[in-house]
């Protein structure tokens, strides 16, 4: 076999778009040589590096496209602060089997209780599992559909929102919808029904959705489809933000009590 010099090797890796191997060629080959790998092991080692880089890039790109409002992970969720959330159930949801089945997921609860935090964390888990994800607030979603409707592009816009495997609709019910909203939302839910998963967060219980949509009949039709294969997670309890503030207050008091005790000991 003819000897292959460094540049020729780089050119071949380039042609095959094996860019991770190309960029770290010497380091990787040194490492393979140093650890006495067999040829099979060395090949596996090189290819796994290439795959790892591609996964990283894919996740980065998909995360940008998803348009999350912030970065949150389940690891950062303080379970003890929200006892009404079943950690095991959320961890099961993070395996994304429900997305494979095209099921829906609903987070209900008052403001500040971690609905968006959990939604974003599960959305990021979905991306790691190779699902396409789009995050949008209910207000933006409806405004976008209404505008598209006005411009005669509703079908096109519905297709866009139907494309991601998981569509996360945040903050349903914070703002009252315009009269057309119920129908537009219904069309979206119908379009996605049994095709892709939807995750919805809302501060209003489902019995109030008639009021949210301003049309109880359409709200029932929306819920009928959404709840068909759906996990509903109802979070009860206090706002995490307020809790933090309150706890800060408590800690101050505890500090004072501690100081008092210390003073008593000193006396
Ligand atoms: P919601 O969407 O229910 O209004 P968020 O998810 O936006 O609430 O939570 C408000 C803030 O508090 C966010 O920054 C979130 O990360 C944080 N948060 C809420 N609940 C928890 C929790 N149990 N552990 C850690 N952070 C939390
Ligand atoms: Mg929120």
Q: Comparing 18-32, 140-154, 240-254, which segment has the lowest mean pLDDT?
A: 240-254
For residue 83, what pLDDT is reported?
93
Domain residue limits at 128 = 74-236
Using pLDDT thresholds of 50, 70 and 90, give the confidence band for residue 200: very high
Enter the tokens of residue 148. 């598209």
Angstrom distance (rounded) from CA 240 to CA 171: 17
| 249 CA distance to ligand 2 middle (Å) | 25
Query: Residue 30: CB within 6 Å of ligand 1?
Result: no
Shared domain check, 201 and 94:
yes
For residue 256, what pLDDT is reported?
42
Q: Which tens digits make up the pLDDT trace of 53-106?
A: 999 999 999 999 999 999 999 999 999 999 999 999 999 999 999 999 999 999
For residue 93, what pLDDT is reported?
98
Q: Does residue 255 belong to any structural domain of this protein?
A: no
| 61 vs 238, residue with greater confidence | 61
Shared domain check, 112 and 232:
yes
Q: Is the pLDDT of residue 233 over 80?
A: yes
Query: Residue 113: CB within 6 Å of ligand 1?
Result: yes
Q: Which tens digits make up the pLDDT trace of 157-177?
A: 999 999 999 999 999 998 777
Shared domain check, 211 and 185:
yes
Angstrom distance (rounded) from CA 149 to CA 141: 12
Number of domains in the chain: 2
Rounded alpha-carbon distances, angstroms, from residue 187 to 62, 105, 128, 207: 26, 18, 29, 20
Torsional class of 155: left (φ above 0), alpha (ψ -120 to 50), beta (otherwise):
alpha
Cβ atoms of 120 and 135 closer than 8 Å: yes
Q: Does residue 210 belong to any structural domain of this protein?
A: yes
Shared domain check, 156 and 37:
no
Enter the tokens of residue 235. 């979070």
For residue 3, what pLDDT is reported?
77
Query: Residue 241: CB within 6 Å of ligand 1?
Result: yes
Shared domain check, 167 and 45:
no
Shared domain check, 99 and 57:
no
Q: Does residue 265 belong to any structural domain of this protein?
A: no
Ligand nearest to the CA of 110: 1
Instruction: Kindly report the pTM of this predicted structure.
Output: 0.86
Cβ atoms < 10 Å from Cβ of 225? 17
Q: Does residue 56 belong to any structural domain of this protein?
A: yes
Q: Comparing 62-66, 117-121, 130-134, 259-263, which segment has the lowest mean pLDDT?
A: 259-263
Q: Is the pLDDT of residue 132 over 50?
A: yes
Instruction: Pick the residue whose CA is nearest to atom 26 on ligand 1.
Output: 77
Shared domain check, 36 and 118:
no
Cβ atoms < 10 Å from Cβ of 209? 22
For residue 51, what pLDDT is reported?
96
Enter the tokens of residue 140. 């933006």
Q: Does residue 248 belong to any structural domain of this protein?
A: no
Structural domain ending residue among the three candidates 14, 31, 66 = 66
Residue tagged 């990283």 (tokens): 56
For residue 251, what pLDDT is reported?
55
Using pLDDT thresholds of 50, 70 and 90, give the confidence band for residue 225: very high
Q: Does residue 48 belong to any structural domain of this protein?
A: yes
- Grouping H, G, I as helix, E, B as strand and the rest as coil, residue 55 is helix
Query: Residue 121: CB within 6 Å of ligand 1?
Result: no
Q: DSSP letter at 135? A: E
Among 75, 117, 235, name the best residue to mutate to test ligand 1's pocket (greatest count of ligand atoms within 8 A of Cβ): 117
For residue 115, what pLDDT is reported?
98
Using pLDDT thresholds of 50, 70 and 90, give the confidence band for residue 266: very low
CA-only gyration radius of the chain, Å: 26
Query: Residue 37: CB within 6 Å of ligand 1?
Result: no
Q: Is the pLDDT of residue 205 over 70?
A: yes
Using pLDDT thresholds of 50, 70 and 90, give the confidence band for residue 248: confident
Shared domain check, 211 and 80:
yes
| CATH number of the structural domain spanning residue 141 | 3.40.50.300
Q: Is the pLDDT of residue 109 over 50?
A: yes
Angstrom distance (rounded) from CA 211 to CA 35: 67
């Amino acid at each position: 076999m003819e000897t292959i010099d460094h540049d020729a090797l780089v050119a071949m890796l380039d042609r095959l778009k094996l860019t991770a191997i190309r960029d770290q060629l010497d380091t990787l080959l040194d490492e393979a040589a140093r650890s006495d790998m067999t040829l099979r092991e060395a090949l596996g080692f090189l290819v796994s590096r290439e795959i790892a880089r591609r996964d990283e890039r894919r996740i980065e790109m998909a995360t940008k496209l998803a348009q999350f409002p912030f970065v949150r992970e389940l690891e950062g969720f303080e379970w003890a602060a929200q006892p009404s959330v079943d950690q095991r159930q959320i961890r099961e949801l993070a395996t994304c089997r429900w997305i494979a089945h095209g099921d829906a997921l609903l987070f209900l609860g008052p403001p500040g209780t971690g609905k968006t935090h959990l939604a974003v964390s599960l959305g990021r888990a979905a991306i790691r599992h190779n699902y396409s994800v789009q995050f949008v607030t209910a207000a933006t979603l409806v405004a976008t559909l209404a505008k598209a409707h006005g411009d005669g592009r509703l079908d096109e816009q519905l297709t866009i929102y139907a494309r991601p495997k998981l569509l996360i609709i945040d903050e349903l019910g914070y703002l009252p919808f315009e009269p057309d909203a119920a129908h537009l939302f219904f069309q979206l839910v119908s379009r996605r029904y049994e095709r892709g998963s939807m995750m919805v967060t809302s501060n209003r219980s489902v019995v109030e959705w008639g009021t949210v949509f301003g049309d109880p009949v359409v709200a029932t039709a929306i819920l009928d489809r959404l709840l068909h294969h759906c996990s509903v997670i109802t979070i009860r309890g206090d706002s995490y933000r307020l809790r933090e503030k309150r706890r800060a207050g408590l800690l101050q008091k505890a500090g004072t009590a501690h100081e008092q005790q210390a003073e008593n000991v000193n006396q």
